[in-house]
Amino acid sequence: MSNNLSNSNTIMAGIKEVGHKVFGGYAELLRIPHTARYSIGSVIACMPFPMVGMTITISVQHYYGNYSLAGMLTAIQAIALAVATPLLGKLTDKFGQRQVSIPTILVWIVAAVALTTSITNRAPEWVLYCLTPFLAAIPPWGAMSRARWTKILKGDQERTNRALSLCGVLDECMWVIGNPLASTLAVISGLLAFSFTGMCVVVGALMFLTELTTEPPSQTQLARAEGISRKEYREREAARAEALKVETAAEETRRRLEREGVTDEATINAAIEQAVADARSGKKASIWGPGLIAVCVTWFGLGAFQSATGISIIAFATESNMKQYTGFVFACFSISSLMGALVYGAKNWSIALWKRFYFCLAVVNIGISTFLFAKHLWVIMIIYLIIGVCQAPTWINGNQLMLHLVPPSRLTEGMAWMGAMNSIGSSAGSAIAGQFIDRMGSHGGFMVVTTLALVSLVIALIGFKQIKGSTEQPTLTEVSV
């Protein structure tokens, strides 16, 4: 009896130790004053992301019986998001989170009410086309939350990376809850689904925006505090980032030559001068460089095949008379991704960031390509469970790349551009898949998915040199501003 008790205590102690290793770092972050409130608030306010696209698809297919129309509407919303998100991110960095978010939320609520009324009353299609773009009026909650973390943890690279992983975990919680809710509520009533989403927007916004102590200062506030204009502040910040790049380029060149056994001082000085000249080339005030372009193009492909996957699975489930289960299939992907994010963020990785990025991306892209050969909805669900563990880490890696690519007061803008390219890809994927589904059924949609997934992986490999090189650059969020 005592042996059994001892074994039980040993097992419990082991479980507690594992739980502390996995969750201890996250718990430590959330114990920082005020962080739990804005982190959870941002997730609640982000509910339009998992719910709106699926609600539009199911509701339009129900009232209009047309996948092409559903695909075009989700594509229009994605294009509008692609246009609005970087703009909102840039405005947020300039003027502040509350100043931009409040009017944006009001626009979204009015648009959601108008679109729901139009769909349920089978309004002419042109009315839907006119109203859908306004559903892109969603503040960049995720980017704003990450900006708050980088402000709080500035200079602590390990905890900053874990905080970005925590954001990925919370994002996956949003998708785990939002997808089944959207499919269930939209099958009952599109009005019910949009009403619930609107309530989430209001509650989440109140939690996030009323937390003032962690809000990063805007460029306007920083410039005003130093008695200079916003333009002068941005120019000075760009100059500091440039100086850090130049200093790092010189130091890395010197170390490389030392490893190669070069001792001639004239040769070393010439190589350093060339490295410094190369580092100084380009537009100093622009955040756009080869690394950022490579990441954004990769995110375009990622959005394209994943949106095509969503509408194809809905079509497949509808053909199998299992439409009510589509949200749970997507939730399985999100649950798997959530677990991947938890484990990924708990470990301090010694493997190079670019290696982790490409491994996770390949698992997701190649895995989704196999949907073309699935014969049952549950097979798709199982594949989703397997490959989902690499979904959130892929996004986390992308966010960590951003820390190397843009200066701190433009981090919201940089991440917004990444999300915007993902939205543009989503618009292309859903529109193309909708056309193929109407002509060839779900099989045609999965053909599009496979093609887009493989092309996306090829695009990422083309940008290999730029993405690998960006991880060797200094972390720009460490610049003192």
Cβ contact 248:473 at 8 Å: yes
Of 100, 76, 71, nearest to 88 (Cα)?
A: 100
- Residue 324's identity, in one-letter code, is Q
- Co-location of 157 and 113 in the same domain: yes
| pLDDT at residue 474 in the model | 54
Please indicate, yes or no, whether residues 85 and 187 belong to a single structural domain of this protein: yes
Do residue 299 and residue 435 come from a single domain?
A: yes
Looking at residue 106, its pLDDT comes to 92
Q: Evaluate whether residue 215 is within a structural domain.
A: no
Rounded Cα distance between 4 and 41, Å, is 45
Instruction: Name the pTM for this structure.
Output: 0.62
Could you tell me if residue 374 is inside a domain? yes
Distance CA 254, CA 250 (A): 6
In a domain, 8, yes or no: no
Domain end among 218, 247, 280:
280
| 355, 444: one domain | yes
Write the pLDDT tens digit of every residue in 6-52. 555 565 555 565 555 556 667 788 888 888 888 888 888 888 877 77
Q: What is the pLDDT of residue 313?
A: 83
Residues 199 and 251 placed together within one structural domain of the fold: no
Say whether both 375 and 310 belong to one domain. Answer: yes
State the Cα–Cα distance between residues 289 and 469, nearest whole angstrom. 11
Mark which of 237, 256, 280 sits at the end of a domain.
280
The CATH number linked to 185 is 1.20.1250.20
Q: Could you identify the residue written with the tokens 């204009």? A: 229
CB 47 within 8 A of CB 200: yes
pLDDT tens for the chain, 481 residues: list them: 555 555 555 655 555 655 555 566 677 888 888 888 888 888 888 888 777 777 787 788 778 877 778 778 877 887 787 788 778 887 887 788 888 889 999 998 898 889 888 888 888 888 889 998 898 888 888 778 888 887 788 767 777 777 877 777 777 677 667 666 776 776 677 677 778 888 888 898 898 888 888 888 777 777 777 777 777 777 777 777 777 777 777 777 777 777 777 777 777 777 777 777 766 664 444 566 667 777 788 888 777 877 788 778 888 888 877 776 777 787 787 778 778 877 776 677 778 888 888 898 888 888 888 888 878 888 888 888 888 888 878 877 887 777 777 766 566 667 777 777 777 777 777 778 877 887 888 788 888 888 888 888 888 888 777 777 767 655 544 433 3
pLDDT at 481: 31
Which positions ≥6 away from 12 have C-beta within 8 Å? none
Residues 416, 46, 134, 218, CA torsion sign:
negative
Which of 443, 419, 423, 445 minimizes the C-alpha distance to 432?
445
Angle, helices 391-405 vs 411-440, to 10°: value is 140
CA distance 77 to 82: 9
Q: Specify if 19 maps to a domain.
A: no
Classified as helix, coil or strand, 374 is coil
Question: Do 36 and 139 belong together in one domain?
Answer: yes
> Which two tokens mark 192?
């019910």
Are both 469 and 421 inside the same structural domain? yes
List the end-to-end C-alpha distance of the chain, in Å, as a whole number: 64
Tokens of 313: 């699975």
Residues 258, 180, single domain; the answer is: no
10 part of a folded domain: no
Tell me the per-residue pLDDT of 338-348, one tens digit each, with 9 for 90 and over: 788 777 766 77
Longest dimension (CA), the chain: 80
Please tell me whether residues 177 and 258 are part of one structural domain. Answer: no
How far apart are the C-alpha atoms of 191 and 418, rounded to whole Å? 31
Task: Say yes or no: 386 and 344 in one domain.
Answer: yes
Which of these, 149, 159, 214, lies nearest to 411 by C-alpha position?
A: 149
Say if 7 falls within a structural domain: no
Question: With 0-12 CB in 10 A as exposed, 13-18 as middle and 19+ as buried, what is 37?
Answer: middle
Same domain, 40 and 182: yes
Q: How many domains does the chain divide into?
A: 2
Sign of CA dihedral 111, 115, 118, 123: positive
Q: How far apart are CA 376 and CA 366, in angstroms?
A: 19
What are the phi and psi torsion angles at 389 (to 5°)? -65, -20
Q: Which domain holds residue 255?
A: 226-280
Whether 162 is in a domain gets the answer yes
Q: Is residue 149 part of a domain?
A: yes
Residues 273, 428: Cα–Cα separation, whole Å: 45
